[in-house]
Structure 1
């Protein structure tokens, strides 16, 4: 609300209250009063007649501005102090000698002037704020224009005409080789811009000449390509004649005991053997030597891969060595090493071990990992069936489970990257110690005669297959013929393989502890169920058969379906069957027979 509107509202309120309004002209007429009263009322000496409200309000605004808040407050406090002292004198009974009405009027006027001054100050502040806002908006617009201009300048400065990327010849060489019609040394040597234009012109001429040379060479190439295609067609026309000659020579080859395909494969394998990794090359030589020395016709040796793949791998390794030498970042080397830590050489070896009695072949695959400097082994079965084939060659030799990298440097790398061979065992295999020995690392096995070690390796594979087949027969006979229980009224109703997860969650705690303490890398998992003749009582035997059975005996965990959670006799029977001495391949049968003999006692102890 403006000061004039406030004043009008005061006048209206005085009229509505029935009081006589204060006329500004009447106040002006009182200027003839005493000087003291004039000073109290703060009237100027040259006080003019104020015959209108507008003049009066303008005069009061001027007075409030001239006095200022500080003077108004100061005079107000002085008058308040005088009135306060007068009131104290009246309270004390003293006679009042001063007229306080003018001072009260002055205080009221000072209060009004203070409001006028405050209103005027607010108006000035609002005007100044409007000016500041306008200036701020103008500043923002100016800054935006400046930024836009700067961007345009940067874009113009960064504009590339394409000539910056040209690898122009040096200036000295330019003046030596360029014709004077282009170089014009008398003009360009003192003018860098014209010199640069002359160098660009010379570059253009050179490129035109090279383009002409390229077109000429492409024409020659097309002629040669056409000539090559003609010769290829001629060679292809000779192929039927050569095939006919080979077919006609087959009877002679049969008489001589030689076949063209065998000779061709032999030559190809020999060529591939030169590109094998050094450890696999040693293995290949030893396998071929064993095959010839032992005259073992049931052994096959084959190199898998192509010569082109081996050459690409070698070039890639050389490029990576150059990158390693140029890079200083250890972190980059670690990241690259982790990405190809299990990358294998493109050439690998298959050794086929035929087991004639069982009509199957064990194909053992050997691969080499350059980053870890170890050879790995995995296997597959061709033409037959063996129980738990995925663990067939696990623990083939004692204390050799292939879980740890035999190479010290490779092992440190794996520990640093916190990875192991479990994730790639199915695709690459495991680095067994015997494999390192077969590849020439005699420190792993301590035997220098690699041919003898190869003989032991082949025999161990065939012996493992024999043991698995005998184990398969024991399991089959136990269910079909009940030969294990003998004349007892006990029947083996089930003898089944169990998955790893189910086995781990179902076996008794005693068997779990026994497996943990035995340090088995892997084992075969079975569940056997025995019933008495009434089929009211059933005994479950959980069996962990080591992969190298019968070198190590099976471990049993017994469970009886009864109300008793724990039975001491059942635990004693379990300890007894696990303590049976080894009987070779018959150990499992002896253990099952022992359980069958104690079946009645176990039933009686658990049902009491």
Structure 2
């Protein structure tokens, strides 16, 4: 029975089908029967109840389970005697498997049909949803178009037309057409617009006519001005003809007389400043120029105006203190509000004298600095504004910041930043008008440096404390002796500061571009190196003070927020040396200070590396050797020389490390030294000796 069942197995059927397909006459019939069976089963799957198939499936499974149990029992009793019965039951179980396979095929057909139906329904739903979205978008678009149409404003609505009364009164009857326009508002609007056009044409014609008349008058004025200008050279020639006589006699009478007339109108402090600086110019400094600037007529009226304002202040104080006023006063005098009075008092407190003293200090290279001294009449202090005239290019981020005019004279003398007024009474005066100090007003009023007060003969050190609240008590009388003792030192300090800043700018500009040129005229300095300056940029005090390798200088007070700070990066191969450079505002009296951080095989600085500490010592402590080597004009090359020494020390550090075996190939040795390290501290050969082309040794 097993063999008979095997004859009808699906494998043999497939073999028969393959044989038929190779050319037997039954190939078409077998293929048709298979298709018929497929269609029959699809129809049966569609028509037959799935629940009935489910019951049939459970019965078939139970029958298979029963037959398998009986076969197992027969084999357990006596497999040899029950062989026929076992074969029969096996056939029955196989037939049940055929039923299960048919049920499985029917279920597959149902699942495929359900999926196809689901896909068709989903496609229909998606199509309907897309149509709905399109309809909604179209509805929104139509709504927007309707809104635009409702909100549309014609250009004629922006034109301000004359009223209807003026239109009917002034317009010609050909435009008004009362019988039509009074009945039709649209025709009335068109007629008014046409009348507006006619009026504008008339006004345009009138404007052109007036422009022509204006041009004619302008040409007449220009012609008369040219005639007057032609007289000026002749008058100037006559005046110039008298100058050789005055110069020959060394008597520039016109200039002296003019300056003396104007100087007599100066306030006392500025007069003292003018007299002393002009005397110093005549006696000691031919490159110095002193002059008085301002309006003479305004200066003549200033004294009278100042007296009237002080009297008005007294009246305002009386009015503010008094609580009773008569009805007559209320009718004829309007009392100012408190804020208006405060603003008026503030304006008068900050009043400047219209005349100024201008002092120009020139250098031998034609660079100059112009100092304009102002006098605040009610605060009784002298302020100064600075203006630079340089013939050198001071462009660049770092160099440009050094040459800012209002920062150039910062801390010219120790502690004199100019941020506070030297007159102690000003603090209370400014508080009374709602001001905290003069710092916010410096761009407009100038800076009240202490040395500017000394030049004007003012000395506030001995001001009496109980009287500082009184406006007249703080008016210190200027003294000639105070000015005389200060002029020379101040002029020299300003010249020194300007010279130092220009020299510093000339050295920083190449460093910003990464250019370090050898100082060929100084054989006592190294002439070649392998490292390079890859970066030079300014940094803030906050950034500098946060750097760990700069903390020792910050703690010791060697640097401060008044200095200028830069970050330089020296590189060679994979090694980098980051140097924070602090340049004091008093350069070159104080040399630049370097704080180093070596980034190679980790990070090393002076606190953890003796070699880096010795490198810092070489540029920060032994800078006096560079000064001696540079000779005259050392300030113009000091920073560059320090950078050169730092580059060479960086090379020596890397090459001496290579000599000990740490980096033998990346940094080949190109400098002459006898021992890479020496002594208990294993010091490096940082010291340069100009012997035989230059050798390096330890200190």
- When normalised by structure 1's length, the TM-score is 0.50
Indicate which of 459, 466, 476 corresponds to 2:492: 459
- Tell me which of 570, 573, 576 is aligned to 1:538: 576
Specify whether residues 519 and 374 from structure 1 end up closer, same or farther in structure 2 by C-alpha distance, changes over 3 A only: farther
Gaps in structure 2 of 5+ consecutive residues: 1-226, 322-337, 463-478, 520-524, 628-634, 664-699
Aligned to 1:361: 368
Larger deviation: 475-484 or 426-435?
475-484
Q: 1:305 to 1:481 in 2, by over 3 A?
A: same
Is 1:284–2:335 an aligned residue pair?
A: no
- Could you give the per-residue CA deviations for residues 373-428 of structure 1, whole angstroms, max 9, x where no partner exists? 21112311224236422233222223322222111101344567463443333343
Residue 95 of structure 2: aligned partner? none
Structure 2 residue corresponding to 1:480, chosen from 516, 531, 542: 516
Give the CA deviation at 1:288: 1.5
Residue in structure 2 matching 1:547, options 569, 585, 594: 585
Aligned to 1:406: 422
Quote the Cα distance in structure 1 between the aligned partners of 2:363 and 2:413. Answer: 19
Deviation at 1:437, TM superposition (A): 0.8
The alignment partner of 1:425 has SS state of: helix
Residues 457 and 271 of structure 1: CA distance in aligned 2, closer, same or farther (over 3 Å): same
> CA contact under 8 A between 1:437 and 1:444: conserved in structure 2?
no
After TM superposition, the structure 1 = structure 2 runs for residues 3-152 of structure 1, keeping only pairs within 5 Å, are none
Pair 342,322 (structure 1): closer, same or farther in 2 beyond 3 Å: closer
Give the one of 257, 261, 264 matched to 1:274. Answer: 264
Query: How far 1:520 sits from its partner (Å)?
Result: 4.2
Asked if 2 retains the 8 angstrom alpha-carbon contact of 1:272 and 1:306, the reply is no
Q: How far, CA to CA, are the matches of 2:615 and 2:376 in structure 1?
A: 45
Change (3 A) 1:579 1:491: closer
2:383 to 354, 361, 376: 376
Q: Which residue of 2 aligns with 1:326?
A: 315
Pairs within 5 Å for 1:86-485? 244=234, 247-248=237-238, 250-251=240-241, 253-257=243-247, 263-294=253-284, 296-328=285-317, 329=320, 336-339=344-347, 341-356=349-364, 358-385=365-392, 387=399, 388-390=402-404, 391-414=407-430, 417=434, 419-442=436-459, 448=481, 450-475=483-508, 479-483=515-519
Q: CA 1:281/1:425 → structure 2, altered by over 3 Å: closer, same or farther? A: same
What residue is the counterpart of 1:528 in the other structure? 568
Q: Offset at 1:571?
A: 7.3
CA distance in 1, matches of 2:560, 2:447: 16
TM-fit CA distance, 1:600: 5.5
Shift of 1:510: 5.0
In structure 1, distance between residues paired with 2:590 and 2:559: 12
Contact 1:573–1:595 (Cα < 8 Å) also in 2? no
Change (3 A) 1:252 1:588: closer
Asked if the contact 1:523–1:544 (Cα under 8 Å) also holds between the matched residues in 2, the reply is yes
- The Cα shift of 1:530 comes to 1.1
Indicate how the Cα distance of structure 1 residues 491 and 256 shifts in structure 2: closer, same or farther if over 3 A, else same.
Answer: same
Q: Structure 1's 440 and 460: CA in aligned 2 closer, same or farther, altered over 3 A?
A: same
Cα distance between partner residues in 2 of 1:256 and 1:275: 26
Over 3 Å counting, the alpha-carbon distance change for 1:415 and 1:256 in structure 2 is: closer
The 8 Å contact of residues 500 and 587 in structure 2, kept in 1 or not, is answered as yes
Please give the secondary structure, in 1, of the residue aligned with 2:596.
strand
Q: C-alpha distance in 2, partners of 1:591/1:238? A: 63
1:493 matched to 2:509? The reply is no
CA offsets per residue over residues 188-207 of structure 1, 9 Å max, x none? xxxxxxxxxxxxxxxxxxxx
Q: Highest CA radius of gyration, 1 or 2? A: 1
How far off its partner does 1:550 sit? 1.9
Q: 1:365, 1:377 within 8 Å by CA — same for their partners in 2?
A: yes
Asked if the contact 2:529–2:651 (Cα under 8 Å) also holds between the matched residues in 1, the reply is no
In the alignment, the residues of structure 1 paired with residue 377 and residue 241 of structure 2 have an alpha-carbon distance, to the nearest angstrom, of 47
**CA 399–494 in structure 1, closer or farther in 2 if over 3 Å, else same:** same
Alpha carbons of structure 1 residues 509 and 344: separation in structure 2 relative to 1, 3 Å? farther
- Return the alpha-carbon distance in structure 1 between the equivalents of residues 247 and 367 of structure 2: 27
Q: Which digits, 9 at most, give the CA deviation of each residue in 1:16-70, with x for residues without a partner?
A: xxxxxxxxxxxxxxxxxxxxxxxxxxxxxxxxxxxxxxxxxxxxxxxxxxxxxxx
Deviation string, structure 1 residues 167-193 (Cα, Å, up to 9, x no partner): xxxxxxxxxxxxxxxxxxxxxxxxxxx
Q: Structure 1 residues 588, 271: CA separation in 2 closer, same or farther (over 3 Å shift)? A: same
Deviations 1:206-239 (A, max 9, x none): xxxxxxxxxxxxxxxxxxxxxxxxxxxxxxx999
Secondary structure of 1:558 counterpart: strand
Structure 2 SS opposite 1:556: strand
Structure 1 pair 342–504 and aligned structure 2 pair: CA distance change class (3 A): farther
How much does 1:243 deviate?
A: 7.4
Contact 1:447–1:453 under 8 Å retained in 2? no
CA apart distance, 1:281: 1.1
Q: TM-score, structure 2 length as denominator?
A: 0.45
How far does residue 341 in structure 1 lie from its aligned partner after superposition?
Answer: 4.8
How far residue 598 of structure 1 moved from its aligned partner, in angstroms, is: 4.4
State the Cα distance separating 1:273 from its structure 2 match.
Answer: 1.5
How many corresponding residue pairs? 365
SS of aligned partner of 1:426: helix
Alpha-carbon shift at residue 297 of structure 1 (Å): 2.9
Any conservation in 2 of the 1:542–1:558 contact (CA below 8 Å)? yes
- 2:155 is matched with none
How far apart, in 2, do the equivalents of 1:538 and 1:404 lie?
43
Instruction: Judge conservation of contact 2:361–2:368 (CA < 8 Å) in 1.
Output: yes
Q: In 2, distance between residues paired with 1:518 and 1:550?
A: 15
Cα distance in structure 2, aligned partners of 1:335 and 1:460:
39
| Aligned-residue offset at 1:279 | 0.8
Q: 2 CA distance for matches of 1:293 and 1:434?
A: 21
Q: Do the aligned partners of residues 353 and 337 (structure 1) sit closer, same or farther apart at CA in structure 2, a change above 3 Å counting?
A: same
